[in-house]
A = this chain, B = another copy of it.
Amino acid sequence: MREVTAPPDLYARIQQFHATQMHALDGGEFDAYAETFTEDGEFRHTPGRPAARTRAGIAEELKAFHRERFAGDPVQRRHWFNMLRVEPGSGGEIHATFYVLVVATRPGVRQPEIAPSCVVHDVLVEDADGGLLVRSRWVEHDWQPEPATTVGAAAGGPVNGPANGEVSR
């Protein structure tokens, strides 16, 4: 196993960035979520749905997705990230790979649904002020594994597959 040293400050910064970003998403603030991407950012969150591109496109895709799946459903979703691996890339890019579970609770029902289990591949960059932005985010769903070749072809530009081999099957 190749141990990769990530600057400890960067590690905590990404954790804080992810937390703030998910508090926004789970609070239904889709525009705020989209603003955490670069202007030309790319977001693939569900197999079978095309990648969303640009901040406007990402906000629109999220609104459409929530209308289709959760209209009239008083669900409170919470995205849990874990096992974050940070790897500095070339040209100022930062690769972050981590696990995700989605926790969904409905009023009056104590037991949440916890599904699906995913692996996410972020490519992060810093803006002019040193703030973090997502250049691309690709969500792999464990229950819907994508063939490696399809993944490579579909990913196109910024997402070139997993930054490291250990999470591929």
Q: Write the residues of chain A forming the contact surface with B, with a CB cutoff of 8 angstroms.
A: 1-6, 8-9, 11-13, 15-24, 26-29, 32-33, 35-36, 76, 78-86, 97-99, 101, 103, 105-117, 119, 131-132, 142-145, 164-169
Contacts and interface: CB of A to CB of B under 8 A. Distances in A.
Contacts of A85: 16, 19-20, 23
A122 to B, nearest CB: 13
Contact of A6 (B1, B12, B28, B79): B12
Question: When A and B form their complex, which 10 residue pairs have the shortest distance between CB atoms, in order from nearest?
Answer: A105-B142, A8-B12, A27-B166, A1-B32, A11-B12, A23-B166, A8-B9, A19-B85, A19-B83, A76-B142
Contacts of A107: 143-145
Contacts of A9: 8, 12
Contacts of A13: 5, 8
11 contacts: A3-B17, A8-B8, A8-B9, A11-B12, A15-B84, A16-B85, A19-B85, A24-B166, A76-B142, A101-B112, A105-B143
B101 A103 contact: yes
A83 B167 contact: no
Given A13-B8, A112-B116, A35 B83 contact: no
Contacts of A5: 13, 16
